[in-house]
Amino acid sequence: MAGHPSHLWRAEAGSRLALRIVCATANRHKLAEIRAILQDLPIMLLSLEDFSPFPVPEETGGSYAENALIKARAVYARTGTPTLADDTGLEVKALAGRPGIHSQRYAADDNVRRSQLLQELDGVPPEGRKARFICAVAYVDFHGEQLFQAEVAGRIAEHCTGQEGFGYDPLFFLPHEGKTYAEMSALEKNALSHRGKALASFRQWLFSRELLVSDRTA
């Protein structure tokens, strides 16, 4: 693996080395989910708390990809460590695609966001509640930038169901599964979710570029 700065790797369990990647998010739920999805890889996924406090720029882009890149570029420039960032949005057809890239800023917190979405869709029948989750993942390192995007189609349930997950998960119903994200185990959700699919593409890219190693000698 010549050409890869040694500070990007740290020994784990004897000769096993992990590629150090910082996840550019302050959302603990999202960080935990990304760690779970990538847990089998030789990666040490760091959080922003592993570095001295610094401001992460606002998501001012016009697309999920732009917002993910804004965060990844800023954190990589500050830390010098390969950086992974994502931007995710829920698009509801009956609301002309809202809340979309403003999903996180739709309301003050998760409970209020869910309540507000249900209010906006009050009286809309199941067939009119089509929605999709979109996730863009950006990865920035000394080689350059990469983008991965995925989406999952479903609909907005008439009420919150399930205790798992976070955000809009209790409202995002997948007809082919017969339940919401929040009714699934973490393993189930991560296998078919928008973020899981985007990170699966990221995983494939890492292996294709031979950026992962299991052993390294001095």
H or E stretch at 30: helix 28-37
Residue type, 179: K
Cβ atoms within 10 Å, residue 210:
9
Q: What is the DSSP letter of 73?
A: H
Instruction: Give alpha helix (H) positions in 105-193.
Output: 110-120, 186-192
Q: Which of 40, 50, 86, 87 is catalytic?
A: 87
* 87 belongs to the catalytic site: yes
| Tokens 């990469």 belong to residue | 146
Cα 48 to Cα 176: distance, rounded to the nearest angstrom: 37
Instruction: Give 27's contacts (C-beta < 8 A, 6+ positions apart).
Output: none
Question: Which residues does the annotation mark as catalytic?
Answer: 87
